[in-house]
């Protein structure tokens, strides 16, 4: 909610200039006791989602398990059964277990467009390479390649967990999830001790830890086997009963993998294993006003988006869509990224099942749609105030954030929403008393970033970036405000129900 304060300034002998200043209300100050309780309950569920969904595959799995209990049917199953689709139906489509689209079919023809919430469920991390396992001086490692934009030095000496899948040649899919339970081991990347780090500390932050040094330590215990008996009995008595094999620590790890998961070293070739911070999301602050957890960019917007469509109490006028995609952190590429045809193809299939399909209607459906590109924004950090332009910064606690444009420097790579669409959004949020603020991503020449917005805008639809303000963005542990999370969910609901062309 925007509050306008008017002041008069003496500017010229012939008159005064009216100066307008915008102030955004802190959401905590506006909430009733009922809303505060709703916020705590909603954020408790959100933190459980963060704990269960530390990879794209896990997020999709969690979402599918929930939405099927709420009446959602899989698109491919409807196609196989030669079914049809009509107003009120709830449908979902999945691409390679990493991207998902939810549709709540509305009363109006799809040709008139949809109201779309789009977020991403991939997050910065370390990925295990295809030939990763090696031993060096009695320590076993997994070689990694970092994914997305990270400060590499933040990933050393913290407890790390291993999540993902190993697919064997016979098609068996082995699920790996180790390091999250208290009785499970964790893994780590080592760092040089401070006593020997004088030379290291002279390096720039980008070079303190090199990418090839981010190798995961996974063991140090050698594999031992029984030694063959010596023909000389006296010599045999002096010998140890066991001896270490060559690359004994590596062999010990392989023995554990074989016994626990029935996988061989060559199975790493067809594996997708992600290294993420170990541990649960937590309340932050004495007042428990914040959430601290891994992967909130962009799972905070993914969760609020899918809960907004899931919690719709009645059939919307326009079809509501929630699109949660992979690969945003590396440019939205690949079959599961936003640049693929998955979304367009699923819309075409829905039009076909509803008896409306032809290519022109598909194009009209997409161009007539309205979208919120639901991605996080940088929260103003007083410790690094010089990187922000305060009048156009997002603040923790001030509600959902709208970025009319993102990009970097001269708006490069940006979707720049038009004024008419921003006005429509303002009216919807004000009518439903949703607290919001506007921002850009830091000072003009300091940096920048992008989202999936520009990709959807290629269809000719109206798109604007919005989401939750985040502290420590792209760090292993990110921080959000609980009221911003809940207010964003409220804003998404209002958009899905009330946004019309």
Q: Write the pLDDT tens digit of every residue in 270-293.
A: 999 999 999 999 999 999 999 999
DSSP state of 394: B
Q: What is the CATH number of the domain that holds 66?
A: 3.40.630.10
Confidence (pLDDT) at 11: 41
Instruction: Decide the pairing of beta strands 462-467 and 242-244.
Output: unpaired
Q: Write the pLDDT tens digit of every residue in 396-412.
A: 999 999 988 876 667 76
* CA contacts within 13 A on the Cβ side of 453: 28
- Residue span of the structural domain in which 248 resides: 125-277
From 214, 244, 277, the end of a domain falls on 277
- Residue 186's CB is within 10 A of a number of other CB atoms, namely 15
110 three-state secondary structure = helix
Helix (H) or strand (E) holding 38: helix 33-52
From 230, 247, 277, the end of a domain falls on 277
Q: Do 242 and 375 lie in a common domain? A: no
Residue 472 lies in a domain: yes
Confidence (pLDDT) at 54: 97
Structure tokens belonging to residue 120? 């991403």
- What mean pLDDT is reported for the chain? 90
Q: Do 343 and 490 lie in a common domain? A: yes
Q: Do 387 and 373 lie in a common domain? A: yes
Q: Which pLDDT band holds residue 230 (cuts at 50, 70, 90)?
A: low
Residues 117 and 324: their CA atoms lie apart, in Å, by 8
Q: Do 318 and 465 lie in a common domain? A: yes
Q: Which pLDDT band holds residue 446 (cuts at 50, 70, 90)?
A: confident
Q: What is the CATH number of the domain that holds 201?
A: 2.30.250.10
Confidence (pLDDT) at 18: 40
Does 255 score more than 90 pLDDT? Answer: yes
Confidence (pLDDT) at 19: 43
Residue 405 lies in a domain: yes
Q: Which pLDDT band holds residue 304 (cuts at 50, 70, 90)?
A: very high
Q: What is the mean pLDDT of residues 423-441?
A: 92
Q: What is the mean pLDDT of residues 15-35?
A: 73
Instruction: Decide the pairing of beta strands 319-325 and 114-120.
Output: parallel
To the nearest whole percent, how much of the chain has pLDDT over 70?
Answer: 90
C-alpha dist (Å) from residue 485 to 124, 319, 398, 475: 21, 24, 11, 19
Q: What is the mean pLDDT of residues 343-362?
A: 96
Q: Write the pLDDT tens digit of every residue in 314-348.
A: 999 999 999 999 999 999 999 999 999 999 999 99
Question: Whose structure tokens read 């922000």?
Answer: 388
- Residue 492's CB is within 10 A of a number of other CB atoms, namely 29
Residue 9 lies in a domain: no
Q: Do 402 and 304 lie in a common domain? A: yes
Residues 152 and 389: their CA atoms lie apart, in Å, by 27
Q: Do 412 and 316 lie in a common domain? A: yes
Q: Do 94 and 141 lie in a common domain? A: no
From 244, 277, 310, the end of a domain falls on 277
Q: Write the pLDDT tens digit of every residue in 82-123.
A: 999 999 999 999 999 999 999 999 999 999 999 999 999 999
Residue 245 lies in a domain: yes
Which residues lie closer than 8 Å to 206 by C-beta, 6 or more apart?
152
Nearest to 350 by CA among 92, 67, 99: 92
Beta-ladder partners of 136? 139
Residues 487 and 432: their CA atoms lie apart, in Å, by 11
Confidence (pLDDT) at 360: 97
How deeply is 74 buried, as exposed, middle or buried, from its count of CB atoms within 10 A (0-12, 13-18, 19+)? middle
Q: Write the pLDDT tens digit of every residue in 180-199.
A: 999 999 999 999 999 999 99
Residue 289 lies in a domain: no
Domain count, the chain: 2
Confidence (pLDDT) at 242: 66
Does 170 score more than 70 pLDDT? Answer: yes
In this prediction the pTM is 0.90
Q: C-alpha angle 408/411/416, rounded to 5°? A: 130
Instruction: Decide the pairing of beta strands 99-104 and 319-325.
Output: antiparallel
Least confident of 223-232, 294-303, 467-476: 223-232
465 and 421 Cβ atoms separated by less than 8 Å:
no
Q: Do 439 and 303 lie in a common domain? A: yes
Q: Do 159 and 117 lie in a common domain? A: no
Q: Which of 452 and 99 is assigned the larger pLDDT? A: 99
Q: Do 429 and 456 lie in a common domain? A: yes
Q: What is the mean pLDDT of residues 294-313?
A: 96
Residue 12 lies in a domain: no
Does 21 score more than 60 pLDDT? Answer: no
Q: Do 305 and 436 lie in a common domain? A: yes
Q: Do 462 and 408 lie in a common domain? A: yes
b (16+ CB within 10 A) / e for 116-155:
bbbbbbbbbbbbbeeebbebeeeebbbbbeebbebebbbb
Residue 261 lies in a domain: yes
Q: SS3 letters for 252-306?
A: HHHHHHHHHHCCCHHHHHHEEEEEEECCCCEEECCCCCEEEECCHHHHHHHHHHH
Confidence (pLDDT) at 17: 43
To the nearest whole percent, how much of the chain has pLDDT over 90?
Answer: 80
Residue 287 lies in a domain: no
């Amino acid at each position: 909610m925007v509050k306008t304060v008017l002041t008069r300034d003496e500017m010229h002998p012939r008159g005064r200039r009216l100066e307008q200043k915008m102030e955004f209300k802190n959401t905590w100050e506006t909430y009733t006791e009922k809303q505060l309780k709703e916020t705590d309950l909603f954020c408790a569920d959100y933190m459980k989602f963060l704990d269960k969904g530390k990879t794209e595959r896990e997020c999709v799995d969690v979402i599918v398990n929930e939405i099927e209990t709420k009446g959602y049917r899989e698109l491919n199953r409807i196609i196989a059964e030669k079914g049809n689709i009509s107003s009120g139906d709830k449908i979902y489509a999945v691409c390679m277990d990493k991207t998902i689209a939810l549709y709540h079919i509305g009363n109006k023809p799809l040709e008139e467009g949809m109201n779309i919430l789009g977020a991403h469920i991939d997050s910065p991390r370390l990925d295990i390479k295809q030939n990763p396992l090696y031993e060096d001086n009695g320590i076993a490692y997994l070689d990694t390649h970092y994914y997305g934009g990270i400060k590499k030095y933040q990933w050393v000496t913290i407890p790390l967990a291993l999540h993902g899948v190993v697919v064997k040649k016979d098609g068996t899919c082995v699920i790996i999830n180790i390091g999250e339970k208290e009785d499970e081991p964790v893994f780590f990347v080592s760092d040089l001790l401070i006593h020997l780090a004088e030379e290291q500390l002279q390096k720039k932050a980008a070079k303190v830890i090199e990418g090839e040094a981010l190798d995961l330590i996974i063991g140090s215990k050698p594999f031992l086997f029984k030694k063959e008996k010596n023909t000389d009995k006296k010599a045999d008595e002096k010998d140890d009963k066991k001896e270490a094999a060559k690359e004994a620590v590596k062999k010990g790890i392989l023995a554990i993998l074989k016994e626990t998961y029935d996988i061989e070293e060559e199975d790493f070739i067809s594996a997708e294993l992600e290294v993420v911070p170990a541990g649960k999301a937590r309340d932050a602050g004495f007042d428990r006003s914040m959430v601290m957890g891994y992967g909130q960019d962009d799972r905070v917007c993914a969760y609020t988006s899918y809960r907004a469509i899931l919690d719709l109490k009645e059939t919307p006028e326009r079809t509501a869509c929630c699109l949660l995609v992979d690969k945003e952190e590396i440019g939205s590429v690949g079959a599961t990224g936003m640049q693929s045809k998955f979304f367009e193809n699923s819309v075409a299939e829905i039009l076909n099942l509803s008896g409306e399909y032809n290519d022109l209607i598909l194009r009209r459906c997409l161009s007539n749609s309205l979208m919120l590109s639901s991605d996080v924004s940088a929260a103003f950090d007083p410790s690094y105030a010089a990187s922000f332009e305060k009048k156009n910064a997002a603040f923790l606690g001030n509600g959902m954030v709208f970025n009319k444009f993102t990009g970097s420097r001269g708006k490069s790579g940006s979707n720049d929403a038009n004024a008419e669409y921003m006005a429509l959004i303002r009216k919807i949020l004000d009518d439903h008393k949703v607290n919001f603020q506007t921002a850009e991503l830091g000072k003009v020449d300091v940096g920048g970033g992008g989202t999936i917005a520009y990709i959807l805008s290629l269809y000719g639809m109206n798109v604007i970036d919005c989401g939750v303000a985040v502290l420590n963005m792209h760090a292993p542990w990110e921080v959000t405000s609980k009221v911003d999370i809940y207010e964003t969910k409220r804003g998404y609901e209002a958009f899905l129900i009330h946004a019309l062309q």
